[in-house]
Structure 1
Amino acid sequence: MTEFVLVAGAKLGAWAWDEVVPELRAAGHGAHALTLSGLAEKSGTPAGQDTHVRDIVDEVERLDLRDVVLVGHSYSGIPVGQAAGRIGDRLRRVVYVDASVPADGKSFLDGWPSDEVRAAIEANDGFWASFSPEDLAEQDLDEERIARIVRGATPHPGASLTEPAVLSGSLAEQPTTYVKCLMDWPEPSEDVVELLKSECWELVEMNTGHWPMFSRPRELARILCESVG
């Protein structure tokens, strides 16, 4: 039985997968949604990049999971990609859902204009402020889902966004599915384009916005199931 470990992006917790988990379990898989330190029910606690990597590795080991598919959405692709290299033969596949991918020595905020975010973190006691409805506009989300995300989201611990990733192996050698959400941006980033040249990587496109676990949960669950054959 494949065991999916699902990690949502910045400002979100395990609750973000509430509509995906039942679909995976109905298909006969294990599904474990994980809240990273400092978020949702664990909110308010400072957490760095290594903390979030350890959160994922510890969950896999605590549950003694095998045949693991690590799923990282948005920001969480950074710790998920690192954790994938640390769980050894427990790993079956990595799935990045419209996600950033880690680069050794670089942080989530490297590689894109981030001065405004860094200033906001400094002004907000080390946390990136939660979502506003405007942040979620034009992403295939109805008013009810936007309200749900805004209500459930929490400020994100800033250190996890600014601290560098540490890779223990090549991402190109990990069996990987990259899910690109076309309404957010039609093309993968340059680093993902390069990784997709690997025979171990495949690209799947979704015609939806950046938060498909809310906008298209059933379709996303189907893609996750198909990623493991």
Structure 2
Amino acid sequence: MTASSPIVLIGGSGLGPWAWERVTPILHDHGFHTMTPQLRTTGDDATPAAAVGLDDWVEDVHESLTDQADATLVAHSFAGYVAAAVLERRSHSIRRLILIDAALPQPGRSWFDVMGADVAAFMTSLANDGAIPWFSREQLDQLYPGNGIGDADFAWMQQHLTAQPIGTYMQPAINEPLSAAGVPVAYVRCLRTSPPAVEVSAEHLGWSYRTLDAGHWPMITRPAETARVIVELATS
């Protein structure tokens, strides 16, 4: 990997480019060029959530890579679906995929398909104007008791968080297994996410595998450690 090869960072549900603000300066200090693609409805993008599906987010990342090659794609949480779809369509631009506590898509199945009808019905019931709101403080601590997000962190996040377009949960990400792209994959598990984001024995799949002593949002709660594992995997 050369200094001009980008590290492309994509955050999970509710997050935007802002979520990596604590990580990118560290990567820059190590001599890396970073990109944080703007996905529709995230950050300060005003696209109505009801008009956005997974394919739109894949297109947003795809367009950001138009003039890029040899990129390392880093995906957090639900962005595993986005990154997997980008990899399937544009593997020639990607040298490595790093998944941080990420959801793993199954060929031909949407996130709703994988999670099941009961979860899909519950999540749909929460939707407002085509999007599912992010967690309240109480919901966050109940669902992710080891999240590590302090009150100051949460207040900062609330200034930027956006609701998740429900359409992103309804479309399959890939048609073939991730291995079909022929690109090395690394999985980083956050140990304080309980239960784990996914049940996967990455070692058995031939992937690189690392852990972080962090909750589900390590780019916010453990930026130095997150940057360090990205650098290690990107240069391996």
Question: Structure 2-normalised TM-score?
Answer: 0.87
Establish whether residue 55 from structure 1 lines up as the match of residue 64 from structure 2: no
Give the fraction of aligned pairs with identical amino acids, expressed as a percent: 30
Query: In the TM superposition, what whole-angstrom CA distance separates every residue of 1:159-179 from its partner, at most 9, and x where no partner exists?
Result: 011222233x43124301111
Establish whether residue 99 from structure 1 lines up as the match of residue 102 from structure 2: yes
SS in 1 for 2:113: coil
Give distance in 1, aligned partners of 2:135 and 2:46: 15
SS in 1 for 2:156: helix
Q: Are the aligned partners of 1:133 and 1:150 in contact in 2 as well (CA < 8 Å)?
A: no
Q: Are the aligned partners of 2:71 and 2:96 in contact in 1 as well (CA < 8 Å)?
A: yes
Q: Are the aligned partners of 1:43 and 1:154 in contact in 2 as well (CA < 8 Å)?
A: no
Query: In the TM superposition, what whole-angstrom CA distance separates every residue of 1:87-134 from its partner, at most 9, and x where no partner exists?
Result: 23221100111111221221123333332112112xx12111133122
Give distance in 2, aligned partners of 1:44 and 1:87: 25
* 1:197 paired residue among 191, 204, 213: 204
Question: What residue number does 2:186 align with?
Answer: 177
Letter in 1 for 2:168: S
Question: What residue number does 1:134 align with?
Answer: 138
Say if 1:187 and 1:39 are closer, same or farther in 2 by CA, change over 3 A.
closer
Question: What residue number does 1:209 align with?
Answer: 215
Establish whether residue 125 from structure 1 lines up as the match of residue 134 from structure 2: no
Gaps of 5+ in 2: none
Letter in 2 for 1:189: V
Give distance in 2, aligned partners of 1:119 and 1:187: 25
Pairwise CA distance, 1:75: 0.8
Give distance in 1, aligned partners of 2:208 and 2:192: 19
Letter in 1 for 2:209: L
Query: In the TM superposition, what whole-angstrom CA distance separates every residue of 1:20-48 from its partner, at most 9, and x where no partner exists?
Result: 11111111111111221122211442211
Give distance in 1, aligned partners of 2:198 and 2:125: 24
Give distance in 1, aligned partners of 2:33 and 2:59: 21
Structure 2 counterparts to residues 1-229 of structure 1, below 5 A: 1=3, 2-45=5-48, 46-61=51-66, 64-112=67-115, 113-121=119-127, 124-137=128-141, 138=145, 139-167=147-175, 169-172=176-179, 173-185=182-194, 187=196, 189-190=198-199, 192-193=200-201, 196-199=203-206, 201-229=207-235
SS in 2 for 1:114: helix
Give distance in 1, aligned partners of 2:13 and 2:198: 18
Gaps of 5+ in 1: none
Letter in 2 for 1:49: L
SS in 1 for 2:108: coil
Give distance in 1, aligned partners of 2:174 and 2:232: 30
Question: Structure 1-normalised TM-score?
Answer: 0.89
Pairwise CA distance, 1:212: 0.4
Q: Are the aligned partners of 1:131 and 1:150 in contact in 2 as well (CA < 8 Å)?
A: no
Letter in 2 for 1:175: P
Query: In the TM superposition, what whole-angstrom CA distance separates every residue of 1:149-168 from its partner, at most 9, and x where no partner exists?
Result: 1221011211011222233x
Q: Across the two proteins, how many residue pairs are aligned to each other? A: 221
Pairwise CA distance, 1:186: 5.5
SS in 1 for 2:226: helix
Letter in 2 for 1:51: D
SS in 2 for 1:110: helix
